[in-house]
Amino acid sequence: MQSTDGRRPGVVVVLGTGGTIAGSADSAARHVAYQAGVLGADDLVAAVPALQRRPLEAETLARLDSCDMDHATWVALAARAAHHLARPEVAGVVVTHGTDTLEETAYFLHRTVAAARPLVLTAAMRPATALSPDGPQNLFDAVTLAREPGVHGVLAVLGGVVHAGCSLRKLHGYRVDAFGSGDAGPVALLEDGRVRLLRAWPDAPLHPVVTASADGLRDATGWPVVDIVTSHAGARGAVIDALVAAGARGIVIAGTGNGSVHAELRAAAARAVAAGVPVWRASRCPLGGVIVGADGGGPDALPSAGELTPVQARIELLLDLLAAG
Ligand code: SIN
């Protein structure tokens, strides 16, 4: 069924979590120095005249600078998104978020929320008080995408480009055009309020921790600690030893190139694995991931995170550890 304007009928729920899109600066010229997460979701909706005739609900879940994102907020956000997506009168859910950890939240939601209808994240690089903020257009595009017939899965829309939640990555620290989809490329474009599909909407294979138990992710208290260590010239194995001593239950190494790891870290990783702490290797390169087997494996080869970025691999290992109990 379609609405009279050709869109998916129903309400779009906007869940606010903070970020620059909700940020405020003391001068319209400031794009980098400002306070993130000041405005609520209803303020963001109210700032877009074109959204005033749309059936929308706005709910503020958090007012975080997303560099401070935490697992408790992820659990609350996933639960709230799932709740609204299950309401028959809801067309889709939009999440407003900071850009700094948007890719992590997108990947977490991709693996934990069954999104038979669109779950669309959006953000902004410029605060709401900027002379030319990018947030209002991004929010408008996100709502448009959430009402588009046939769309499903966890998506992100920024600058008119639609990314799969599992492919999103932040590539630039301050430019408006800051995001990419890695080697996968974008899923669609938003052109003048119309969606141009470039490839299939992403499927959402949920992590087994979600499908195995309804209680799987209800509370982040006591979640296993999974840390990331970067491999670099002069890397010290003592970092991994210290993390294990401090209670890390899993470690992801952001390796060089195709996931290669400094000998000092390899030795420390072997000690961690012997102590029961799994260690995965990803690549610190922005593109390419780790091609399994391309390094010939070897007796001390650590499990590879494949195409996952280090921050995505950290989430995947965390979910695996939760599933293992
Ligand atoms: C944040 O991630 O909350 C601040 C930076 C941004 O949204 O661009």
Measured from CB, residues less than 6 Å from any atom of ligand 1 are 18-20, 36, 65-67, 98-100, 123, 125
Active site residues: 20
> Under the phi-then-psi rule, with left for phi > 0, alpha for psi from -120 to 50, and beta for the rest, what region is 28?
alpha
As a whole number of angstroms, the distance between CA 186 and CA 162 comes to 6
Residue in 113, 107, 102, 181 with CA at minimum distance from that of residue 152: 113
pLDDT value for 81: 97
Q: In the beta sheet, which residues pair with residue 56?
A: 12
Mean pLDDT computed over every residue of the chain: 93
Backbone angles phi, psi at 115, to 5 degrees: -105, 75
Answer whether residue 215 shows pLDDT above 80.
no
- Ligand 1 atom nearest to 66, measured from its CA: 3
Q: Whose CA is nearest to atom 2 of ligand 1?
A: 98
Q: State the average pLDDT over residues 82-105.
A: 98
Nearest alpha carbon to residue 108 among 312, 278, 252: 312
256-297 pLDDT, tens per residue? 999 999 999 999 999 999 999 999 999 999 999 999 765 555
Contact 179, 188 (CB under 8 A): no
0.75 surpassed by pTM? yes
H-only helix segments in 41-196: 41-46, 71-85, 102-112, 135-146
